[in-house]
Structure 1
Amino acid sequence: MVQLSERPGTKKITNLQDKFLYELGGIFDAENRFLEAQQLMWQYSQHPELKSLIEAHIRETEQQIRNIEQVFSTLKQQPQRVTCDAAAGLVSDGQKLVLLSSDNPKIVDLVLAGEQAKVEQLEIITYRGLIKGAEQLGQNEIVQLLQQNLQQEEQTAQKIEQLKPRLLEEARSTGGKSGANRSR
């Protein structure tokens, strides 16, 4: 069990707004982590379509961070990152997979797409929860900002899912086969 002493600056959650602010701080941390990771992904990617998708999503992520900052401002709060362990874990796992597959650029691209898909799902479920929370708090302006972020995440997830089969086929056709890869 995590101890609150492991989270300096974290206060007890006693109402819906506290819960909302904690979760908002978590996605704020996640988006910042994912922005840094996407910048690295862009450097590692060799596939033009994937590289273009990552580049476009970097710009979207920058806007999403500004939207979150606007949500904090609307609530008269300073933007504050709350460590998102899920985001940190996804970034760490992705980095390990890239390093382990670095000898085959086609596999690296497949790894990057797979990790991006995982990130999108975390973001989608988080934004859906935040939207519900903002609705409960009667914060329509905040709902709109969060819905913009959600729509971008859903569109990116869809584009990644459409690209993944092509990346898999390219990885297979260029010697990316091994006993473990054939079943995927």
Structure 2
Amino acid sequence: MVQVSERPGTAKISNLQDKFVYEIGVMYDAENRFLEAQQMMCQCCQHSQLKSLMENHIRETEQQIRNLEQVFNALGQQPRRINCDAASGLISDGQRFMLLAADNPKILELGLAAGQAKVEQLEISCYRGLIKGAEQMGQNQVVQLLQQNLQQEEQTAQKIEQCMPQLLQEAKSSSGTGSSKSR
């Protein structure tokens, strides 16, 4: 069980505004973590289509972070990162996979795309929830900023999904039958 005292800088949540600001802080942390992870993943990627997709999404993520900073401003708050354990977990899983698959670039690239797809689905879910909250609070400017982020995440998820069959085929070809032959 996590105690509030274990999370320095995190105030108790006592109303919808506090809840919303907390969730924006969590998303702000997630986007910053994902930006760093994408930059690392991009350096490991040799697949031109996937690398291009990642480079484009890095620029989008930088804009999404600026959008979240504008959300904080619109709410009269200073931007504040609140640890996102879900982002930390996805990044940790991705880093472990990268280490384990480092000797096979095609498997590595397939794993990078799969990891990015997981991240996109988390972000899509979070932004949809944040948009509903902002709508309920009548925060139209916030809704617009969050919708921009959501649209970019949905487009990236779609592009990754379109790229996956090719990456899967290339990974399958690079590892023979694709099955383990150990006994």
Deviation at 1:177, TM superposition (A): 4.2
Deviation at 1:82, TM superposition (A): 0.4
Residue deviations 1:92-143 (CA, integer Å, cap 9, x gap): 0000001000000001100000000000000000000000010111000000
Residue deviations 1:13-55 (CA, integer Å, cap 9, x gap): 1110000000000000000000000000110001000000000
Q: 1:176 to 1:57 in 2, by over 3 A?
A: farther
Is the aligned partner of 1:78 residue 2:81? no
Hey, what does 1:146 align to over in structure 2?
146
TM-score, normalised relative to structure 1: 0.96
For the aligned residue pairs, the C-alpha RMSD in angstroms reads: 0.9
Q: 1:118 to 1:176 in 2, by over 3 A?
A: farther
Map 1:44-63 → 2, pairs under 5 A = 44-63=44-63
Deviation at 1:179, TM superposition (A): 2.4
* One-letter amino acid of the counterpart of residue 59, structure 1: R
Hey, what does 1:170 align to over in structure 2?
170
Distance, in Å, in 2 between the alignment partners of 1:27 and 1:129 is 11
| Equivalent position SS for 1:179 | coil
Is the aligned partner of 1:116 residue 2:116? yes
Distance, in Å, in 2 between the alignment partners of 1:94 and 1:118 is 10
Q: 1:176 to 1:160 in 2, by over 3 A?
A: farther
Is the aligned partner of 1:87 residue 2:87? yes
Distance, in Å, in 2 between the alignment partners of 1:10 and 1:117 is 30
Distance, in Å, in 1 between the alignment partners of 2:176 and 2:148 is 38
Structure 1, unpaired ranges of 5+: none
Distance, in Å, in 1 between the alignment partners of 2:154 and 2:22 is 23
Report how many residues are paired.
180
Structure 2, unpaired ranges of 5+: none
Is the aligned partner of 1:101 residue 2:93? no
Deviation at 1:6, TM superposition (A): 1.2
* One-letter amino acid of the counterpart of residue 125, structure 1: S
Hey, what does 1:32 align to over in structure 2?
32
Instruction: Please tell me whether the aligned partners of residues 171 and 177 of structure 1 are also in contact (alpha carbons under 8 angstroms).
Output: no
Any runs of at least 4 consecutive aligned residues in structure 1 with deviations exceeding 6 A, and if so which? Answer: none
* One-letter amino acid of the counterpart of residue 86, structure 1: A
Task: Indicate the percent of aligned positions where both proteins have the same amino acid.
Answer: 72
